[in-house]
């Protein structure tokens, strides 16, 4: 039996993304995944790393993340200065996937190290040690971002985005989202159907002001709480209505949809 296929993380595909990713890996092209939060971008990358049998180095980017956080830095250990590789450097040295989640959040100096790795050069210059690393064939750079809540200034620069092949992720259609809830939580199909219908009614509320629509992740949370014996309305209050907004009125409007579904 092939252990690589038996230990795969659960991933419900939307279309051709698995084939595209495999082609990109074979041909050493970097991949950009864009889409709202909680719709399976990170799970997809974990699944692909396991499927291809590659180590995965994940970096959750934030607005203080610098090139040194990716590449590495000198540390003082027992009075000695020693070099410590960052996750990007480790992935380049050892081979595997380096996944930069929410890459637009990172400081602008990170583009200096991303660009030469993301084009035909496939190199990583380490200024502080004077090294120039050449990425092995198994190295792959994958980045993700959420175009929804980025402001104009934070969008990806064309010079960066045009180094990647791109995949768009979106909310799954009802049938696929039901399959995800069942596959992920083992909940019964009736509950999955109701939660997905609830999620879609929340997503289509256009008179309430939500920063982001209900994600598949939150529907998974609701299914988990209900599966553990919680009252469905209380579970959806906690997993959906209160997680989506701090506005008391908006939250009450969301809860009305919950009671219409489960009341
Ligand atoms: P993102 O990286 O897009 O923010 P994640 O990949 O972390 O989102 O997905 C959030 C959760 O939603 C996962 O932990 C999983 O439970 C569920 N999920 C979403 N899409 C899928 C999918 N296609 N297959 C399996 N699980 C999924």
CA of 121 to the centre of ligand 1 (A): 33
3-state helix, strand, coil in the chain (%, to 5): 50, 15, 35
Residue with tokens 């919680």: 230
**Tell me: the pLDDT tens digits for 187-212?**
999 999 999 999 999 999 877 778 88
CB distance 34 to ligand 1 below 6 Å: no
Strands (E), the chain: 31-34, 56-60, 72-77, 80-85, 97-101, 123-126, 131-134, 140-145, 165-168
Q: What pLDDT is attached to residue 151?
A: 54
Helix (H, G, I), strand (E, B) or coil at 161: helix
Mean per-residue pLDDT for 29-35? 96
Q: Using 50, 70 and 90 to split pLDDT, how confident is the model at 153? A: low
The residue whose C-alpha atom lies closest to atom 21 belonging to ligand 1 is: 40
The tokens for 140 are 């792959």
% of the chain with per-residue pLDDT over 70: 95
% of the chain with per-residue pLDDT over 90: 81
What burial letters (b/e) apply to 206-221, b meaning 16+ CB within 10 Å?
eeeebeebbbbbbbbb
CB distance 42 to ligand 1 below 6 Å: yes
**Tell me: the pLDDT tens digits for 217-262?**
999 999 999 999 999 999 999 999 999 999 999 999 999 999 999 9
CB distance 176 to ligand 1 below 6 Å: no
Q: What is the ipTM of this complex?
A: 0.99
Q: Using 50, 70 and 90 to split pLDDT, how confident is the model at 68? A: very high
């Amino acid at each position: 039996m092939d252990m690589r296929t038996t230990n795969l993380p659960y991933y419900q595909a939307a279309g051709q993304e698995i084939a595209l990713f495999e082609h990109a890996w074979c041909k050493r092209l970097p991949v950009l995944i864009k889409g709202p939060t909680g719709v399976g971008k990170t799970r997809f990358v974990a699944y692909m790393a396991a499927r291809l049998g590659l180590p995965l180095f994940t970096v959750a980017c934030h607005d203080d993340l610098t090139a040194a956080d990716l590449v590495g830095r000198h540390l003082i250990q027992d009075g000695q200065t020693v070099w410590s590789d960052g996750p990007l450097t480790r992935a380049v040295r050892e081979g595997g996937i380096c996944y930069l989640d929410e890459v637009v959040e990172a400081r602008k100096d990170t583009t200096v190290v991303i660009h030469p790795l993301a084009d035909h050069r496939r190199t990583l210059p380490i200024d502080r040690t004077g090294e120039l690393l050449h990425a092995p064939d198994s190295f792959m750079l994958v980045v993700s971002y959420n175009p929804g809540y980025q402001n104009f200034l934070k969008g990806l620069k064309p010079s960066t985005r045009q180094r990647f092949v791109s995949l768009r992720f979106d909310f799954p259609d009802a049938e696929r989202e039901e399959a995800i809830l069942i596959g992920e939580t083992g909940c019964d199909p009736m509950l999955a159907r109701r939660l997905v219908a609830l999620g879609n009614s929340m997503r289509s509320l256009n008179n309430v002001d939500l920063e982001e629509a209900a994600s598949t992740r939150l529907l998974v949370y609701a299914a988990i709480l209900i599966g553990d014996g919680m009252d469905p309305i209380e579970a959806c209050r906690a997993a959906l209505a209160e997680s989506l907004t701090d506005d008391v009125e908006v939250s009450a409007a969301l809860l009305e949809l919950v009671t219409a579904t489960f009341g």
